[in-house]
Structure 1
């Protein structure tokens, strides 16, 4: 069906010159026939030397295309032949010869090879763009698209070849050519796969902002007022947005802090008759959790369970993090236990939320227990968790525990405290009179690129005064003054 539509929409354009795939030169025809015979009938050991003897001066792109067409049932051999001509510099390939092989690989579902060849063709045409008068566009992907369209019927290709081209453009961050290709396809009544459109919308969101991505979403899925009803019913050639389309938009709006827009997309998804999945609920719940609206988040949770949608680890972590943020660690623990009973493995984020939750309510012992459980499971903590634990322990006058905590994190996870955490450790050690230990921490701090500030100097000075060492305290005062003057 799609192939027939392409044939109608991409008719062969009348040419003033012979088709790049057909030619009347008898010598060329004989050479093509001879090379095809060698490729298909000789064994691999003698094949390549025979080919070299048969075409000592190489072949032109038209001849390569003709040979490739006759190998349409042997795509692997056609690809090997291409690689052989390239490595031996026997053919100066152009967009037509590339396109022939790309079509052949696409129609035989060798998508990864077709994709790689598309990327190679784009790079190659970029370097020779100014040398080729046949290139009508400034963007190599558009020239390749035009050539793929012209050679589509001759090669009996698959429509997915255009999805591969768009994907290659997006992967190389060529958003504008990707948009132009999609628009040209849509104008001819052909739509790329919805997954391809989703990738394009996602990339636009990240490069031009989520508002730009949303505008492209409206355009590509034809969601203007006059076409909305047609789109909802799935009539015509239009591809309907799926749950992944809406998930991507909601996620982008959420990451931009636009929770009200997340809710707007959620409603739009319902109006289009698209059923949300666990990811959809997770993003929507995250918006409520971010604003501390845990009652609304729980309502969504219940709705998800009523719809018999099983929550994933992201959903559980979202709820656990939300309750920890508002100080309801008990409720967070309930979700943690439910998560375990459901057979879902906890992640580092799960424990990070619980550790920070207990730290926020001042329950350092519970935070420490959760942290130790996290370490037993070989989950790496975040540096911010390390700093939070250090400061909380120091605030509770448990400096030695904080120091042991640091040594464990450094030895096991190669994590190091930030400047404020070093400062808290040094202050605590000086307050307890452990000056030698404080000096070691200060030396480690300097080794990490942090210079002592006035508060650290004051901590050492106060510590030495309490020990009765006025001479060293005075020397430190002078050093601090000189440091301040130099800065």
Structure 2
């Protein structure tokens, strides 16, 4: 019997050790396995008195009593250690712990704080899944330089304290995800990257959403290759051997969009193949990016093949996908196909966008079908969409090319009645050239005055247009005056440039 009992005790010890190893908090282990706050040799009864008052007094009166208690029993403020002990006694009531924290902030004479006390409340809110409130506290910590002993790498310092206090506070692993996301909110990108590295060095992977947020922010702020470097760091070699966090379709979408935005289109196709190797199923946005690459490169047939593949695989195109493929067909002048896809959108109950209308206007203008372009523009205006300057410019150019200058002039003047619309200088140049060509110099001068009123100065091209117009009418005197004025204007600009240099 003694032998069996001894064997049973040994087995129990082994099982207990395995349970500790399986516990994820083992990764953050400290010398103590207890989640209770350590005793404070200074005023040990004060902590229990404050806890008792907070938990047993009515909410309306507890803060008055607490202020009175602390004012009468302490010669100095509560220490950060005492705050942490009190907060940990309240961790089963995180909202009360948070109110106590705010009380200490609004009464700084009664309590002082350091990174450890901030970490305690961050852990308590995290374990209660009060993520938004935890992120607010993290951001407020970064806004208090005094917490970081005169500077240094604040994100790393806070990370290290959170790591040391993890077990003591019985926290949740995603507290570090909240720290990384808070750093990203505050544009502390280098700190976010360093925290991710330090986690990985301990065999810990941030959540996939956090990894994607980190990669996306670096792509946007530091460029595609920097973002790709962070992608390889965050996901590492574990993805190749089946461990660690794995990238998903949103990861690859962010990377492909980043490389496309920076003009590195070859990498977009490489990432598409890499996505397939990871078993990530492309969604509508994935297809949109690759279709955009093909359309920009004039590979409209390859783009159409991808579009058909979406249908075969049951991937429903979204608005972005339609914008890209319609824009591709408008670019090469295949307006019938573009209109077919536009009608298909309506059948799928997808509302048109300003981008799609602008593609259609530009497409019709480029092929010289200005009447269709005008119809689309009017429909666009009825739907409440505001055209960009280049769209109106395309219409003005198309109308002037058809000798419909007065219509072009009316269209531009109506567009400029919207104070939020900013016409291009090119639109005015087109009109002035057309009016001068027709010998309508007075109207051309009025347009030129409107042009100056919009902040566009006359340039040699405008001067040349007026000079040719007056010469055509036989007004050599006016042409000579304009030549002299142009020479003087250009000379003044050169002097300004030389003075600036």
- TM-score (structure 2 length as normaliser): 0.87
CA distance in 2, matches of 1:188, 1:421: 61
- Taking a change above 3 Å as real, the CA distance of residues 169 and 481 of structure 1, as seen in their structure-2 partners, is closer
Residues paired across the two proteins, number: 469
Contact 2:239-2:246 at 8 Å conserved across structures: no
- Map 1:135-154; keep pairs closer than 5 Å: 138-154=152-168
| SS of alignment partner, residue 154 of structure 1 | coil
Worse overlay, 182-191 or 80-89: 182-191
Deviation beyond 6 Å, 4+ runs, structure 1? none
Aligned to 1:135: none
Asked whether the equivalents of residues 145 and 165 of structure 1 are also in contact (C-alpha less than 8 Å), the reply is: yes
User: Structure 1 length as normaliser, TM-score?
Assistant: 0.89
Q: Give the corresponding residue for 2:56.
A: 41
RMSD: 2.5
The equivalent of 2:26 in structure 1 is 8
Q: CA deviation at 1:218?
A: 2.4
Aligned partner of 1:25 among 29, 41, 60: 41
Deviation of the 1:43 alpha carbon: 2.5
Q: CA 1:433 to 1:20, structure 2 compared with 1: closer, same or farther past 3 Å?
A: farther
Counterpart-to-counterpart distance in 2, 1:461 and 1:287:
45
Answer whether contact 1:119 1:168 (CA < 8 A) is retained: yes
Deviations 1:17-70 (A, max 9, x none): xx995233252x222222222222222332222111111243111111111111
| Paired residue secondary structure (1:412) | coil
Look up the match of 2:91. Answer: 72
Question: Which of 382, 388, 392 is 1:386 aligned to?
Answer: 392
CA change 1:482–1:177 in 2 (3 A) is closer
Q: Which moved more, 1:355-364 or 1:197-206?
A: 197-206
Superposition deviation, residue 339 in structure 1: 0.8
Give, in angstroms, the shift of residue 269 of structure 1. Answer: 1.1
User: Runs of 5+ in structure 1 lacking a partner?
Assistant: 133-137
Q: Is the 8 A contact 1:6 1:190 kept in 2?
A: no
The question of whether the paired residues in 2 share the 8 Å contact of 1:22 and 1:62 is answered with no
Give the alignment of 1:346-357 within 5 angstroms: 346-357=352-363
Equivalent residue in structure 1 for 2:227, among 201, 204, 213: 213
- How far the C-alpha of 1:313 sits from its partner, in A, is 0.4
Note closer, same or farther for the CA distance 1:214–1:379 as it changes in structure 2 (3 Å cut).
same
Question: Is the 8 Å Cα contact of residues 68 and 78 (structure 1) preserved in structure 2?
Answer: yes
Unmatched segments (≥5 aa) in structure 2: 1-18, 494-501
In structure 2, relative to structure 1, the CA distance for the partners of 1:473 and 1:271 (3 Å cut) is closer
Which residue, 36, 43, 62 being the options, matches 2:81? 62
Q: Is the 8 A contact 1:2 1:159 kept in 2?
A: no
Q: 2:135 aligns with which of 96, 115, 126?
A: 115
Query: Aligned ranges for residues 16-415 of structure 1 at < 5 Å?
Result: 21-25=37-41, 27=43, 29-56=44-71, 57-89=76-108, 90-124=110-144, 126-131=145-150, 138-223=152-237, 227=238, 229-231=240-242, 236=243, 238-412=244-418, 414-415=420-421
How far does residue 420 in structure 1 lie from its aligned partner after superposition?
2.2
What is the CA distance between 1:187 and its match in structure 2? 2.5
